[in-house]
Amino acid sequence: AQRVTQPEKLLSVFKGAPVELKCNYSYSGSPELFWYVQYSRQRLQLLLRHISRESIKGFTADLNKGETSFHLKKPFAQEEDSAMYYCALSADYNTDKLIFGTGTRLQVFP
């Protein structure tokens, strides 16, 4: 079955500390993976996707097929990074259907 697992419901760090939000997936084919973010009082929005190999707001994520992981990382967290982060999997080439993880709330303290 296709599944996305985010083991941490809450991750709390201090400003300037490194951040890693974990995401593991189960899918037998070639997945496409994404991170979506929801800031307080804002709508859910795409943060980054693995095929773009981009860095957005200092965040990066590398797809590790051997470990079936797509962890989100940032070397130095900022207070404005506090938000809800969702990892998502697109497992159907012919559709845009996304399977979301349960989300991790990141709290960055000053």
Partner 1 sequence: DADVTQTPRNRITKTGKRIMLECSQTKGHDRMYWYRQDPGLGLRLIYYSFDVKDINKGEISDGYSVSRQAQAKFSLSLESAIPNQTALYFCATSDTASGKETQYFGPGTRLLVL
Residue span 61-100 as binding mask against partner 1, x where in contact by CB under 8 A, dash where not: -------------------------x-x-x----xxxxxx
Residue where the block lists tokens 């190999």: 53
Q: Does 9 bind partner 1 (CB under 8 A)?
A: yes
Which residue, 31 or 108, has its beta carbon nearer to partner 1?
31
Q: Tokens in use for 93?
A: 């080439």
Contact positions toward partner 1, by CB under 8 A? 6, 9, 32, 34, 43-46, 49, 86, 88, 90, 95-103
